[in-house]
Amino acid sequence: MLRTIVIALFTIVVFIGLSASVMDAIYGGGEAFPDRSTPPLMDGSALETVADLPYPPGNIAVSRSGQVFFTYHPEGRPPYNLAELVDGKPQALRFTMPEGLQIQTVLSLRIDRQNRLWLLDYADHGQGQPQLLAIDLDSREVVHHHAFSSDIAPLGSHLNDFQVDADGNFIYIADASILGLDPALVVYDIHAQTARRLLDDHASVEPDYFIPNVEGEKMLMFGVFAIRPGVDSIALDRRGEWLYFAPVTDEHLHRIRVSDLHDETLDAEMLAQRVEVFAEKTMSDGITTDDAGRIYLSDLEHSAITLLTPQGELQTLVRDQKLRWPDGFSFGPGGELYVTASALQFVIAKPDSYIQANGPFQIFRIETGATAVPGH
């Protein structure tokens, strides 16, 4: 699907006669990201394999009862997108789909404290209908649905990841806009079913000009298009005071007070001034937080999980080559940190045979000694 859109973009670019230098300025080029690795706090043996999977996983959410839900990454072209582990084996997610409702491409999912499993459908980069669904995990019925309007999720958008607040009132979404190049944050009011698009094109949501280099594999599609999403990593602190966010290739993790995001008296310029640079980070994808205020980030270039202390000190928690492109995080009920290894360096714009040759793909967990409400 991403491959199809990029080919279409390439065709359009050629058709309108843009030069190679212009193409490179828009979608290509970039420098090497600084290596901020430190000696890992844990050995790779601390990573416990939860499941071997036939297709690359995307994101993950673990319920308070220990149920493991995850997505197969849409770029891996799986036979089904939504999955759960039953007796340790993957199977299609069991729930009642309302008549007439269709799901296209879900990457991120979360479980809120009301025991609802939320699904975010980015609809193949806005080509279809971007939407949110919530499934009650007791009844397995869809209890909430919202279709985003085109001014909130336009063509070229990529509603990539999200967080639900503790009260189950608001959802905070990162639009990475890989193809549209118009990243932003989206704040969705669950009860009012209204959404606001914020910080469009602000420096904090725009990627820095680096090319991901994952264990020696430069992430350039067809040797031209750099895989450089806008805002992607997004997490609430466990008190619900701060929203942390960053593009994959940004050198810094940013944050903004949740209260500022809800203050509609702030215009775009005033809101932009409320954004803070919190700390330097690695090239990140997945992110989560714990009760002690620590922030966990993936380091996709070095097959590692990193840790930011409440003071912003960056440390490598664990590093191991089997942790191929750590992607989604979720704490479990016992404080275990679950992580998907999506191995996207073997997936994006690759043929099915190549993807399968680099399987199986894993979900891991690691004991961190932390506490955190599961599902986020």
pLDDT for residue 222: 64
From residue 237, how far is each of 145, 263, 286, 305 by CA, in Å? 26, 19, 15, 18
CA 245 to chain centre: 11
| Contact predicate 113/97, CB 8 Å | no
Encode pLDDT of 338-359 as tens digits. 999 999 999 988 999 999 999 9
Q: Is 239 helix (H, G, I), strand (E, B) or coil?
A: coil
Sketch out the chain's domains with CATH numbers.
Answer: 2-78+154-367 (2.120.10.30)
Q: Which amino acid is at 87?
A: D
Q: DSSP for 100-156?
A: T-----EEEEEE-TTSEEEEEE-HHHHTS--EEEEEETTTTEEEEEEEPPTTTS-TT
Q: Are 306 and 281 spatial neighbours (Cβ–Cβ below 8 Å)?
A: yes
336-341 vs 361-367, strand pairing mode: antiparallel
pTM listed for this prediction: 0.93
Let me know the angle formed at the C-alpha of 244 by 349 and 146, rounded to the nearest 5 degrees: 65
* Mean pLDDT for the stretch of residues 24-37: 77
The amino acid present at 83, given as its one-letter code, is: A
Check residue 276 and give its pLDDT.
98
Token digits for 171? 């959802």
**pLDDT > 90 in the chain, percent:** 85
- Quote the pLDDT of residue 8: 46
Residue owning tokens 């905070």: 172
**Segment 136-172, tens digit of pLDDT:** 999 999 999 999 999 999 999 999 999 999 999 999 9
**What span, in angstroms and rounded, lies between the C-alpha atoms of 60 and 297?**
15
pLDDT at 226: 79
Pick from 88, 137, 83: which is nearest to 106 by CA?
Answer: 83
Instruction: Mention every residue, 6+ apart, whose C-beta is less than 8 A from residue 345.
Output: 214, 215, 217, 219, 324, 325
Q: Which residues pair with 314 in a beta bridge?
A: 308
Question: What letter does residue 75 receive in the DSSP assignment?
Answer: G
* Dihedral pair phi/psi, residue 43, rounded to 5°: -75, 155
Contact 346, 358 (CB under 8 A): yes
pLDDT (tens digit per residue) in 36-78: 999 999 999 999 999 999 999 999 999 999 999 999 999 999 9
For the beta carbon of residue 186, count every other beta carbon within 10 angstroms: 22
Say if residues 273 and 222 touch (Cβ distance below 8 Å). no
Tokens of 76: 């891996």
**Any idea what DSSP says for residue 47?**
P
